[in-house]
């Protein structure tokens, strides 16, 4: 699985690239070959202004995802800091990927 992490702010240090990569590999371990690439973007929503302003955007691509929905899962999550944004986005992404993998079987059963 190819994981590409881009940190687009100076406040979100490169440590978060490793954090995001490790968190994604653990979370997606059970989906097998359904996912072949994940693009992650971590940055500040509001730039230098204060507040809850870190985002994590993920695009998950793979042949095992429901092709009727484009074979891609998109997730965007904001939070207080980069670790929280990555963790929340990974949790949401895992649920979305599991639903997409299950969707074709649910249509066949109906």
Burial class for 56, CB neighbours closer than 10 Å (0-12, 13-18, 19+) = buried
Can you give the pLDDT at residue 40?
93
- Complete domains list, the chain, with CATH: 2-109 (3.30.160.100)
Can you give the pLDDT at residue 94?
92
Centroid of chain to Cα 39: 7
Can you give the pLDDT at residue 90?
93
Burial class for 93, CB neighbours closer than 10 Å (0-12, 13-18, 19+) = buried
The 10s digit of each residue's pLDDT in 53-77 is 788 999 999 888 876 667 889 999 9
Query: Which residue from 26, 47, 49, 42 is spatially nearest to 77, judged by alpha carbons?
Result: 42
The 10s digit of each residue's pLDDT in 20-53 is 888 899 998 888 788 899 999 988 877 666 666 7
Is the pTM higher than 0.85? no
């Amino acid at each position: 699985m190819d994981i590409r992490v881009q940190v687009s702010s100076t406040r979100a240090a490169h440590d978060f690239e490793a954090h995001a990569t490790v968190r994604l590999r653990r979370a997606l371990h059970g989906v097998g070959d359904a996912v072949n690439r994940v693009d992650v973007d971590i940055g500040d929503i509001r730039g230098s202004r204060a507040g809850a302003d870190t985002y994590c955007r993920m695009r998950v691509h793979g042949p095992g995802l429901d092709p009727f929905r484009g074979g891609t899962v998109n997730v965007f999550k904001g939070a207080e800091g980069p670790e929280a944004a990555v963790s929340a986005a990974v949790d949401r992404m895992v649920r979305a990927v599991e639903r997409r993998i299950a969707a074709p079987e649910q249509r066949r059963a109906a």
